């Protein structure tokens, strides 16, 4: 019979627990991508489509290229609200209707629990580096195109 001391077992459990917590604090970088277009600009959007992917979003990222973003895809149009817990980058959330029209844009501060919501029910939210839409002159009413909006009808 193997005899294990309590302090040794506690040490092992603490190390394993720290590894599990550390694993959860990693950015999700392996999501599928889809190209989106707005005006003459192309966006390489990672697609977050499951509840777990939605919950992690862009958390723990230290940088994101200017032409990249994350598209959150929900099953049904609903009021969508986002916050920035554990998100290190300042972001702008574009709440997007089924046809690709931006309903509203919300700038979000890093690591904030402030809620930022869509002004009407939507199935899509596109997060980009803060200021990306404004610098390119896009606002509510601007229209995104790409595969997710073609099949959403």
CA distance 22 to 2: 30
More confident residue, 27 or 110: 110
Closest to 107 in 3D by CA, of 85, 88, 133: 133
Phi, then psi, of 32 in degrees rounded to 5: -65, 155
Q: Show the tokens assigned to 140.
A: 């509510």
Give the domains, in start order, of the chain with CATH numbers.
Answer: 29-150 (2.60.120.1140)
**Residues contacting residue 4 through CB under 8 Å, at least 6 positions apart:** none
pTM over 0.85: no
At residue 14, does pLDDT exceed 60? no
User: pLDDT tens across 15-48, in order?
Assistant: 344 334 444 578 888 999 999 999 999 999 999 9
């Amino acid at each position: 019979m193997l005899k294990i001391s309590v302090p040794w077992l506690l040490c092992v459990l603490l190390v394993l627990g720290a590894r599990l917590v550390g694993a959860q604090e990693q950015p999700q970088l392996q999501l599928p991508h889809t190209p989106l277009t707005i005006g003459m600009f192309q966006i390489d959007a990672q697609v977050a489509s499951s509840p777990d992917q939605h919950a992690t979003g862009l958390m723990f990222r230290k940088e994101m290229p200017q032409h990249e973003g994350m598209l959150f895809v929900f099953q049904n149009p609903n009021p969508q609200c986002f916050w920035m817990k554990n998100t290190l980058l300042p972001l702008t959330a574009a709440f997007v209707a089924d046809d690709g029209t931006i309903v509203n844009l919300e700038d979000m501060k890093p690591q904030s629990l402030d809620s930022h919501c869509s002004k009407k029910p939507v199935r899509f939210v596109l997060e980009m580096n803060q200021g990306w839409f404004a610098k390119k002159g896009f606002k509510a009413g601007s229209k995104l195109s790409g595969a997710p909006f073609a099949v959403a009808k």
